[in-house]
Amino acid sequence: VYGYLCDLIESNNPVIIGQDNANVPNVIKLFADSFAKSSIEVDSVVGQRMILILRHVQ
């Protein structure tokens, strides 16, 4: 699921990103929650993709 979400974000899917990047804060919160709750391991392939996306947002 998180891998597919990364695919959608990386392709700038307008439904996920939102108009004028309106959904980006929600995506950041979702990523943070998934790391905090150990739903995704930081060292996993998907975890690394998520971190790259977060770095890109900075």
**Is residue 47 within 8 Å of 40, Cβ to Cβ?**
yes
∠ CA 42-43-48, rounded to 5°: 70
pLDDT of residue 7: 98
Separation between Cα atoms, residue 10 and residue 6, nearest integer Å: 6
How many residues can be counted in the chain?
58
**Is residue 24 within 8 Å of 57, Cβ to Cβ?**
yes
pLDDT tens per residue across span 1-58: 999 999 999 999 999 999 999 999 999 999 999 999 999 999 999 999 999 999 999 8
pLDDT of residue 58: 82
pLDDT of residue 13: 97
Separation between Cα atoms, residue 45 and residue 21, nearest integer Å: 25
What does pTM read for this prediction? 0.89
- Map out the domains of the chain as residue ranges: 2-57
pLDDT of residue 52: 97
